Amino acid sequence: MNGYSLTHLTDQTLLHDLKASLARDRAATATVLAHLAEVDTRRLYLPAGYPSMFAYCVHELGLCEQAAFYRIRAARTARRFPVIFTAVAEGRLHLSTVVLLAPHLTSENVDELLAAATRKTKSETEQLLAQRFPRPDVPARVRAVSVAPVPPQDTEQLSPGIVVPPPTLTFEQLSPGIVPPQPTPAIESRSTATASQHFVGQMERSISRPRLAPLAPRRFALQLTMSQELHDKLRYAQELLSHQVPSGDVAQVLERALDALIPQLEKRKFAATDRPQVQRRPTTNPRHIPSDVKRTVWKRDGGRCTFVSETGHRCPARTLLEFDHIDEVARGGQATVARMRLRCRAHNQYDAERTFGIEFMRHKREESRRTVAPAWAGRGS
C-alpha cells in the first residue's frame, strides 16, 4: 500500500492529521535552525571542504539557494534572539517573517516587534515594517523598453514556461541597455565560493545585479541594468566592430571584450605569459612569490582551492583564491612550487587559525585593518 495515499481517511481525520503534521514540521524547522546556527558558529563547513555556510547548505545538505538563504538568515537571527526558535516551533512566526524582521531587531525592540508580527503574513509584515521603519519614496523613473514581437506559431508550439527568444536585432534596432524583458529567474546563477560572513549581503544585493538563466543547452539569457557610461562604451565598441560584427550583436561584442580582458586578469593574477622570463634580481621579501611559481601552481591546482576534507571532498571555490605557503612564512616557509598551493580566503584563514589560534589571527586581522584603512583614506584625499 502506498504510504502517501490518504484516500481511506475520513475528512475529520485528514484535517486533524494535517494540522498535526504541520505542527511537527514547524518544530522540526526550529530544530534545523538551531543546528544550522551552531554549525555556522563553529564554522564546521570549513573542515567539511566548503568556503561558506551557504555553499555547505546548497551542495552538502541539498537545499536550494533560496531555502539556504532563508534558513541561514533565520538561524543567525535566532542565534542572536533565541526566543525566535520557540516562535517558529509554535507557528507564531514563519521564516519569511523572520528574514524580514532581521535587519530591524535589537535587544530593545525584539519582544515588542516579534509580538506585533505574530501570525502575520509576509505582506502584512511588510506593511508593519513600512509603518515602523518608513523609507523615502522611490524616485520616479521612466524606462523605454523595446519588445520584439513573437511569432504566434512559435508560441503555440511551446509548452508553458518556455521562453521564446526574440528575433535577432539588427545594429540599428539595438540600443544598449534597452533589452527585451525576460522572466526573472528564481535565483541568480553564481559561484558560492564567497566567505560566509559576506553571503547574506550578497544575496540581498543580487536583485540589482545581472541575472543569468539557462534557456537551452549551451545557451543562457543575461539581463542587466547599465550606467550611461557603460552604455556609451558598448555603443562605441559596436561602432568600432561594425565591419566584423555588422549586426552589433551584444553577445559577440561581449565575447570579444572578455577575450581581451581575461589575458590581462590572468597576467595580474598568476603572471600568465607566452614568454616567461627568468627572475634576475632575487628579492629579500620572504612573502614574495616568483612569477614562474605562480604560473605553475595555478595550472597544477586548476585555478581552484586545494583544501580537502577528511571525507575527501575538495573545496569547490574558484573565487577569492590566494597563494598559500604550505610551510608558514613565519616559520621559514619558502615560495617554491612544491611548497605552495591555492587556497580560497576562507580556508587560508582557517588553516592559519588552526596553526596560530583564532584569537591571534583575529588580532592580526584587526591590526592589518587599522594599518590599511588610513592608507586607503589617503588615496581619496
Residue 152 has pLDDT above 50, yes or no: no
Distance (Å, whole) CA 263 – CA 76: 40
Q: How far is CA 306 from the centre of its chain?
A: 20
For 201, the grid coordinates are 549581503
Q: Which run of H or of E encompasses 160? A: none
- DSSP string of 167-212? PPPPTTT--TT-----PPPSS------S-HHHHHHHHHHGGGS-EE
pLDDT at 181: 39
Question: Binning pLDDT at 50, 70 and 90, where does residue 141 land?
Answer: low
Mean pLDDT of 95-104: 96
**28, 119, 168 from 127: Cα distances, Å:** 29, 14, 43
Which domains, ranges and CATH numbers included, belong to the chain?
13-132 (no CATH), 171-270 (no CATH), 291-379 (1.10.30)
- Closest residue by Cα to residue 316 from 24, 45, 8: 45
Query: Residue 196, CB half-sphere, CA atoms under 13 Å: how many?
Result: 27
φ, ψ (nearest 5 deg) of residue 341? -155, 165
Assess contact for 272 and 261: CB atoms under 8 A. Answer: no
Range of lowest pLDDT (41-50, 77-86, 123-132, 190-199)? 190-199
pLDDT at 375: 60
pLDDT at 366: 85
Question: Binning pLDDT at 50, 70 and 90, where does residue 169 land?
Answer: very low
Question: Binning pLDDT at 50, 70 and 90, where does residue 330 land?
Answer: confident
Q: What is the pLDDT of residues 233-274, one digit of tens each?
A: 999 999 999 999 999 999 999 999 999 999 999 999 998 887
Question: Binning pLDDT at 50, 70 and 90, where does residue 211 land?
Answer: low
Residue 5 has pLDDT above 70, yes or no: yes
Distance (Å, whole) CA 268 – CA 260: 13
pLDDT at 43: 96
pLDDT at 162: 33
Distance (Å, whole) CA 49 – CA 135: 41
276 or 366: which leads in pLDDT: 366
pLDDT at 208: 42
Q: What is the pLDDT of residues 295-308, one digit of tens each?
A: 999 999 999 999 99
pLDDT at 332: 82
What SS3 class is residue 6? coil
Question: Binning pLDDT at 50, 70 and 90, where does residue 216 land?
Answer: confident
Assess contact for 340 and 363: CB atoms under 8 A. Answer: no
Range of lowest pLDDT (91-100, 183-192, 264-273)? 183-192
Residue 183 has pLDDT above 60, yes or no: no
Distance (Å, whole) CA 158 – CA 135: 43
- DSSP string of 274-320? SS-----S----TT---HHHHHHHHHHHTTS---B-TTSPBP---SS
pLDDT at 222: 85
What SS3 class is residue 324? strand
Mean pLDDT of 320-341: 90
The highest-confidence range among 102-116, 129-143, 164-178, 285-299, by mean pLDDT, is: 102-116
pLDDT at 280: 62
pLDDT at 377: 60
Question: Binning pLDDT at 50, 70 and 90, where does residue 182 land?
Answer: very low
**Does the model's pTM come out above 0.75?**
no
Q: What is the pLDDT of residues 23-60, one digit of tens each?
A: 999 999 999 999 999 999 999 999 999 999 999 999 99
pLDDT at 148: 47
How much of the chain exceeds pLDDT 70, in percent? Answer: 76
Distance (Å, whole) CA 66 – CA 78: 18
Mean pLDDT score across all residues of the chain: 81
φ, ψ (nearest 5 deg) of residue 150? -105, 125
13 or 193: which leads in pLDDT: 13
Mean pLDDT of 335-348: 94
